[in-house]
Amino acid sequence: MTARRKVVPILKNYLYYKGFLSFFTIVLLILLGTGCGAADPGPTAGGPRAENGILRLDGHRFDRDGNVRLEGEWFFYWRRLLTPLELLSPSADTLKAMQTMELPGFWNGRTVNGEELGGSGYATYRIKVKVDDPVNHLALYVPSVRTAYKVWVNGGLLAEVGSIGMDLQSSVPRYKAQVLKLDKSGMGTLDIVLQVSNFHHRLGGVLRPIELGSVEGIHDRVYQSLAFEMLIIGSLLSMGLYHIGLYALRRKERGALFFGLFCVLVGIRASLIGSVVLHYFWKDLSWVTGLRIEYICFFIGVPAILMFVRSLYPLEVRREAVRTAQGLGLFFSVAVFFFPAPWFTYFIPFYQGITVVGCVYMMMCIGQALARRREGAVFAVVGAGSYITSVVIDILYYNQWIRFGEVSSYGLLFCVFMTSFILSAKSAKAYRSVETLSRQMREMNQGLEEKIRERTAELQQINRSLEKMNEDLARMETSRRHLLSNISHDLGTPMTLIQGYVEALIDGVVTQPDQQQKYLKLIHGRITGLSRLIADLFQLSKLEARQLDFDIRPVPADDFIRYFEERYELELAGAGLRFEMISHVMKPADSDPAWIRVDLDRIDQVLTNIIYNAVKHTPAGGLIQLLFIVDEYSLVVQVQDNGTGIDPEDLPYIFDRFYKKDKSRNTARGGSGLGLAIAKEIIDYHGGRIWAQSMVGQGACLAFMLPLVNPAE
């Protein structure tokens, strides 16, 4: 059963993650295929392209066919900052300098008049667009250009970003995409002139295409791009902060810290590329500061993701590789602060090569983890592979080897989801372990509680047994002391008398035979009384110590009453006394018969002691009544006489042994003084109660009660 419980959740998690894997793979392909966000794919097959500085849009309707990218051959004037007026009447030098260049694209590596261009410099671009659409209001989308530019349309200056200059000191860089509204006013040709200068970056020119379309179409394109970029940035930052928060709550989860740091770094970098979203929130951010932040995020992001992979698979990723990546990232990050623009931008190609090496090494490590069936290795391979592929695409794009790029943010988002599944699987496993441990702890606690209850019950039983033993020992000790006290007290006087009688016989004080016979009878009577006293003492001591055996049996109350109905009548008649037996049943007629649990012989002894005690104190011709009363709960037996009665001050003590007051019935007329004490112990043993009532001169009533029982119990 245990193995089955473990297999089912893993299978469910696998299917769950596999479904999400398929879903996000499709989403990534759609995002990349549609070119959403900052990624700008090349022109579609058959789309309009400029040739020799002229773009013809014959039959194109912007409301139907959408926006147009001004791609193709633009006129290009290297190291010329020409205005539209100067281009209307170009000089011979201007005509000689005129060439064509493919846009979008950097001018780096192009050859002009036998000179291979670098990143620093300035130039003028020009294109003429033949518009066939009768609409009068159009818009022009100009993306970020490195690193300053001016735009004229039909001779009118529409925008200036940064400061155009011919050297590093005179130019001011700035990144800003703009939407420029155009009033075509019936003109069929748009003459677009673009001045660009760059002295602060290793790459110069126009990386992304300029677009022309209706005002609504251009705004939709801008809003769509911003929406996707904000989605990417927000997802990365929220995911990063979430995992950093997890680390803050549980410091052992260092993988969550590295992954959260990586997401935050890439999220910040994503806000500084493409549409440069961060500039919408931080308008005073300088171009150089923003570029430094972008590079530092790139430099630190590589060791961060490598540390995260090592936290997942420490046996596959070597510590030396992580240390090397940390050292290189720190070195390049510090160098960015010490080198001015554009020099620190030249670090990027070197670090891109380091990144490619790091990505290859990371994929090898994850591949080893997959081969060794490490937890989450499948998702790590897919996520890391997608992100590394997107990074390679961006590297190729920024180096102008391909025309499709800036997709690393989308690849990272997919990788983040895959990595989140890995962390979620670890968390789920930890939660399952916690639940298992909690269940085991609950079961253990329940078992312990049950054992504690059992042990407590055993200890309570032992304690009760010890208490009972202590009570028995105390009772036996008390009985022993009473016995010794009674023997020493109540045997002393008879023994003294016997001694006196014997000495009188020995000394010859009594010489007459009849007198000697009388003395011998007295001695015999005293010895007989002593024997009876000693027997009663031992019986009472055994009763008090609960050492006397009782034959307790259930007996119907009616049988109990019939048993004593005629038992004492003849004996009392012989003593010259009248005897009456009366019974009253106070239970409902339809109720069950009454039962008691008694030892008949012991109860007979109780009644005998009580009745003969009454006989000794009732004058001849007196009346003794035996009364039985049965109610719903008990059977009460009363012995009533019309003798001399008992003084009120003696009533509380008549059941005590050897109560020596002269008026007491306990010792009168030769009794041992123990009969009522013995009767009390027997009744107590039966769970009943005994008591006495009397008025002097009006007789006495001694009664005891026995509880009714269920014979089935």
Position 33 confidence tier, pLDDT thresholds 50, 70, 90:
very low
pLDDT at residue 583 tops 50: yes
Reported as a pLDDT band with limits 50, 70 and 90, residue 20 is: very low
Q: What tens digit of pLDDT does each residue of 181-238 get?
A: 987 655 688 999 999 999 999 999 998 889 999 999 999 989 988 888 888 888 888 8
Those residues with Cβ within 8 angstroms of residue 705's Cβ, 6 or more apart along the chain or in another chain = 634, 635, 636, 637, 688, 689, 690
Q: Give the sheet arrangement for strand 623-630, strand by strand.
A: 578-585, 623-630, 634-641, 700-707, 689-694
What pLDDT shows up at residue 486? 59
Closest CA to 181 of 222, 209, 144: 222
CA dist., res. 416 & res. 242, Å (int):
12
pLDDT tier, 9 (very low <50, low <70, confident <90, very high otherwise): very low
462's CB contacts (< 8 A; 6+ apart) are: none
Is 60 exceeded by the pLDDT of residue 712?
yes
Residue-wise pLDDT tens digits, 429-487:
777 777 888 888 887 877 787 888 888 888 888 888 888 888 777 766 775 676 566 56
Contact of 641 with 623, CB cutoff 8 Å: yes
Higher pLDDT, 637 or 658: 637
Q: What is the CA radius of gyration of the chain?
A: 59
With a cut of 90, say whether residue 333 has pLDDT above it: yes
Question: CA-to-CA distance for 196 and 365, rounded, in angstroms?
Answer: 45
d(C-alpha 544, C-alpha 473), whole Å: 11
Report which listed range, 252-256, 483-487, 506-510, is most confident.
252-256
- What is the DSSP secondary structure assignment for residue 593, as one 8-state letter? P
Q: Would you say the C-alpha torsion 606, 607, 610, 612 has a positive or negative sign?
A: negative
What are the structural domains of the chain? 10-41+224-427 (1.20.1070), 54-218 (2.60.120.260), 550-709 (3.30.565.10)
Q: d(Cα 544, Cα 507) in Å, to the nearest integer?
A: 44
Choose between 663 and 207: higher pLDDT. 207
> Read out DSSP for 524-542?
HHHHHHHHHHHHHHHHHHH
What average pLDDT does this structure show over 582-607?
85
Geometric angle at alpha carbon 166, from 161 and 167, rounded to 5°: 100
The lowest-confidence range among 45-59, 326-340, 679-693 is: 45-59
399-431 residue pLDDT tens: 667 766 667 767 777 777 777 777 667 667 777
Q: Where are the beta strands (DSSP E) in 586-649?
A: 595-598, 623-630, 634-641
The three-state (H, E, C) secondary structure of 49-92, written as one string: CEECCEEEECCCCHHHHCCEECCEEEEEEECCCCCHHHHHCCCH
* DSSP code per residue over 454-504: HHHHHHHHHHHHHHHHHHHHHHHHHHHHHHHHHHHHHTHHHHHHHHHHHHH
388-392, 484-488, 629-633, 684-688, range with the lowest pLDDT:
484-488
- At 545, is the pLDDT very low, low, confident or very high (cuts 50, 70, 90)? low
Q: Please provide residue 654's backbone torsions phi and psi, each rounded to the nearest 5 degrees.
A: -70, -20
List, as one string, the DSSP characters of 98-154.
EEEEEESEE-TT-EETTEE--S-EEEEEEEEEEE----SEEEEEE---BSEEEEEET
Nearest to 103 by CA among 120, 127, 136, 79: 127
CA distance 243 to 153: 50
When the pLDDT of each residue in the chain is averaged and rounded to a whole number, the result is 81
CA distances (Å), 608 to each of 187, 600, 615, in order?
145, 12, 10
Stretch 513-519: mean pLDDT: 77
Distance CA 152, CA 584 (A): 131
653: pLDDT strictly greater than 90: no
Confidence (pLDDT) at 448: 80
Question: Which residue type, as a one-letter code, is found at position 511?
Answer: T
For strand 137-142 and strand 111-112, is the pairing parallel, antiparallel, or unpaired? Answer: unpaired
For residue 651, with 0-12 CB atoms within 10 Å meaning exposed, 13-18 middle and 19 or more buried, which class applies? middle
Q: How far is CA 635 from the centre of its chain?
A: 63
Q: Nearest Cα to 241, choosing from 229, 257, 224, 223?
A: 257
Q: Residue 659: helix, strand or coil by DSSP?
A: coil
* Alpha carbons 154 and 126: distance in angstroms, whole number: 11
Which one has a higher pLDDT value, 546 or 231?
Answer: 231
